[in-house]
Homo-oligomer: A and B are copies of this chain.
Amino acid sequence: MTDPFAVMNAIGLVGFAFVGAAKAVEERYDVFGVTVVGVMTALGGGTTRDLLLNRVPNSLQSPGEVALSLLGVTAAVLFVHFLDDGHQHPVVLTADAIGLAAFTTTGALLGHQAGLPVFAVVALATVNAAGGGAISDLLLGRTPFILREDFYASCAVIGGLAFWALAQLGAAAGAASAGCALAVLLARGLGIGRG
């Protein structure tokens, strides 16, 4: 529990896998399809980020990330029928928002460490945070909700800009990361509140 981002990342993996699997359950996919959609929702953004950064994806090297994704899938299969309107439940929205903040921060941090310009920092933050949801919508034959919902991917753009601005002002990586995550949570909270 000494690394706040590992904790946020873990909550986000479980939350993203839950949301993706819940959507696949709604579409009456079989167990294999639900698992694939849930795992791709959790790992797809980070995998795309690593492809863009020309690295072997972390998701292929980290059994822990896969295990957390499968935990989220299992939770969705077991509990989604008990929730009214599954993927809009406050618990799910909260876990999803924490994941959005964690994945935005990781993407911005890796882009910054690779010495890339501001567009790349924001793009990697956004791809990392919203890519998994876009992939799962494509797999389900839907147009990506991130392009239609006003305040979702925009929160990742705001977070990426916050990271870049703080780093330009001389903030250390840890401080820029904290500012980025807080900006995403604030923006997303306001977006959900306005509904």
Chain A residues within 8 Å of B, Cβ to Cβ: 24, 29-30, 32-33, 36-37, 47, 51-57, 60-61, 63, 66, 111, 114, 116-120, 123-124, 134, 138-144, 147-148, 150, 153-154, 157
Contacts and interface: CB of A to CB of B under 8 A. Distances in A.
Contacts of A47: 52
Contact of A60 (B56, B116, B144, B153): B116
Indicate the member of A37, A47, A148 with the most B CB atoms within 10 Å: A148
Contacts of A116: 60-61
Nearest to A56: B54
A51 B53 contact: no
B52 A54 contact: no
Contacts of A150: 30, 32
Contact of A52 (B57, B63, B147, B148): B57
B60 A123 contact: yes
Contacts of A118: 63
Contacts of A114: 56
Contacts of A154: 32
Given A33-B148, A47-B52, A52-B56, 10 more contacts: A30-B150, A32-B147, A51-B51, A51-B52, A52-B57, A54-B56, A60-B111, A60-B119, A60-B123, A61-B120
A73 B54 CA distance: 28
20 contacts: A29-B147, A33-B148, A36-B147, A36-B153, A51-B51, A51-B52, A52-B57, A54-B54, A54-B55, A60-B116, A60-B119, A60-B120, A60-B123, A63-B117, A63-B119, A66-B119, A139-B143, A139-B144, A139-B147, A140-B143
